[in-house]
Structure 1
Amino acid sequence: MIIITRPSPYGEELLNCLKHAGLSARHIPLFTIEPSISINNLQGKLDTLSEHDMVIAVSPQVINCLEQSAEPIQFPMALNYAAIGQKTAQLLQKKIGQTVIYPSMDENSEALLTLSALQKVAGKRILILRGNNGRELLASILQSRGAQVEYVECYQRRHIDYPAKEIQSWPKRATITMTNIDSLLRLNELVTPSQRSLSKLVVTSPRIANKARQLGWLNVIQVDSANNQILFKMLVTLCHNGRV
């Protein structure tokens, strides 16, 4: 059994791909995504940026929540824009009508930080559009390079409360997709030691993998990004190799 924990709509998207391929899967998100009231402050912050300052979007959820803003947000053309992941970049580029850079290989903060546009940022202001937490490494490294970094909370994660017995009724050898540390920490509170040792955890970054191992998960498999197609290919491969 494959358990998909990522929130809507991307959890359902992956579920449908797996079912179409004839694999047994369930979508059990551990939190919902809701627009943050802080979005109302974004326009004012954008308007104070100077030419060649930068805006970084960290996930498709950022763009989805911006679309729900009561007032359309105008993104200045003179700024530089970056995103973590191709999907996020495509959504942001469509919204603002100009080029958005992103790492072409791994879709994480470490890969983004290797791009040439993020090397010489001393004196620049950078807005990181994110959820209610996360991407501290990205901000820390950019600050160490001399940038003035500020977060804008575009969405909030709200935990979905499941009875522990519901999670503990999962097959002990389930394969669980995990795309963020918040969900990992929540899941870790609910599972049994047996599930932690027997289940396979498919994660999307080195940070999640390292944290999972620290928490006692024994079978951790890392993919390069949270892109659904990459996750799908890995899950199909595991299935064909008899590991799901």
Structure 2
Amino acid sequence: MQDCHILITRPEPENSLSCERISAHGWTAIPLPMLDIVAIEEAAQKAVIRAQVFNIDTFDYVLFVSKNAARLAGDWLDACWPMLPANVHWIGIGQGTTQALIEEGIPAISNPGQTTEALLEWLKPVKMKDQKILIVRGEGGRPELGNKLQERGANVSYLSLYERRKPRYSAQTFFMLPDIHLIWVTSGESLDNLSEYVTQHKPEWKTLPILTPSARVNQQAKEMGWINASCANGADDNSLIKATEFHIGKQND
């Protein structure tokens, strides 16, 4: 299993970065993104985004749900704020998102876990009542975080910077792939798209080991017929590599 072929379903540019990490471990990375991230470019929507970014100093907390949200927000903040407002608490969900924010020059902190659920647990002691919170995300993101914060009395707004689209692949794309030994999936939406394609073109893949980022997505995978789903407890490369090493170690025993 040293020459392990790992299917990487992250969107770009993270997919290429993960493939480099995998190659450095002596494994073979097979890139097949299951989400396309497309920055919002429509003029009226960009005008709304610009107005929201100019008002970002009115928020107590700004939460970023993904590396894509962090990267695109960095561009907007550079354009609108030569110096960041000092009164805002910047928070990334997961270590990867937080690191992306820091690389953008945003002094973010992170909850100890890697998921929305972990962030909500971490925020329990914080007085959320009447706090103004901005959630930076893609269009149509999961509503759970905002709903739970509103239940605690927070005033929640959203800043949507990108769209998530299902990539288009033909049957030939799947038939041309080499044998796959293990699959990384890093979000529920990526899992949905992968499962649709697999049902059509590679139903035997449902028996392969698949690593998921959270208990929620792992349960989703099992309900969709993935019989060998395991939770990596994080969507970042380090968590997935650790889970991959554990899986390979079990195979070699």
2:109 matches 1:101: yes
Query: TM-score if structure 1 supplies the norm length?
Result: 0.86
After TM superposition, the structure 1 = structure 2 runs for residues 136-155 of structure 1, keeping only pairs within 5 Å, are: 136-155=143-162
2:11 alignment counterpart? 7
2:30 matches 1:26: yes
Query: TM-score if structure 2 supplies the norm length?
Result: 0.83
Following superposition, the deviation at residue 139 of structure 1 comes to 0.9
Following superposition, the deviation at residue 226 of structure 1 comes to 1.1
Q: What is the identity percentage for the equivalent residue pairs of Structure 1 and Structure 2?
A: 27
After TM superposition, the structure 1 = structure 2 runs for residues 17-56 of structure 1, keeping only pairs within 5 Å, are: 17-37=21-41, 38=45, 40-48=47-55, 53-56=60-63
1:242 alignment counterpart? 251
Q: Which of 226, 237, 242 is the equivalent residue of 1:233?
A: 242
- Which stretch shifts more, 141-150 or 84-93? 84-93
Alpha-carbon spacing, 1:200–1:170, altered in 2? closer, same or farther (3 Å): farther
CA contact (8 A) 2:59 2:134 kept: no
Give 1:21's aligned amino acid: H
Alpha-carbon spacing, 1:123–1:116, altered in 2? closer, same or farther (3 Å): same
2:219 matches 1:215: no
Supply the distance in 2 between the matched residues of 1:157 and 1:102 (Cα, whole angstroms): 24
Give 1:9's aligned amino acid: P
Matched residue SS, 2:218: helix
2:208 matches 1:199: yes
1:164 alignment counterpart? 171
Deviations 1:72-108 (A, max 9, x none): 132422122211012322332454553x23112x200
Alpha-carbon spacing, 1:195–1:171, altered in 2? closer, same or farther (3 Å): farther
2:96 alignment counterpart? 87
Alpha-carbon spacing, 1:215–1:143, altered in 2? closer, same or farther (3 Å): same
Alpha-carbon spacing, 1:27–1:177, altered in 2? closer, same or farther (3 Å): same
Matched residue SS, 1:129: strand
Q: Which of 20, 24, 27 is the equivalent residue of 1:16?
A: 20
Give 2:158's aligned amino acid: Y
Matched residue SS, 2:128: coil
Give 1:201's aligned amino acid: I
Matched residue SS, 2:26: coil
Supply the distance in 2 between the matched residues of 1:70 and 1:113 (Cα, whole angstroms): 26
Alpha-carbon spacing, 1:186–1:124, altered in 2? closer, same or farther (3 Å): same
Give 2:8's aligned amino acid: I
Q: Which of 121, 124, 127 is the equivalent residue of 2:131?
A: 124
Residues matched between the structures, number: 241
1:62 alignment counterpart? 69
Alpha-carbon spacing, 1:224–1:97, altered in 2? closer, same or farther (3 Å): same
Give 1:136's aligned amino acid: P
Following superposition, the deviation at residue 202 of structure 1 comes to 0.5
| Structure 1 unmatched runs, 5+ | none
Supply the distance in 1 between the matched residues of 2:217 and 2:186 (Cα, whole angstroms): 8
Following superposition, the deviation at residue 181 of structure 1 comes to 1.3
Supply the distance in 1 between the matched residues of 2:67 and 2:175 (Cα, whole angstroms): 31
Give 2:17's aligned amino acid: E
RMSD: 2.6
Alpha-carbon spacing, 1:72–1:46, altered in 2? closer, same or farther (3 Å): closer
Deviations 1:192-229 (A, max 9, x none): 37435311110001221121111111111101111112
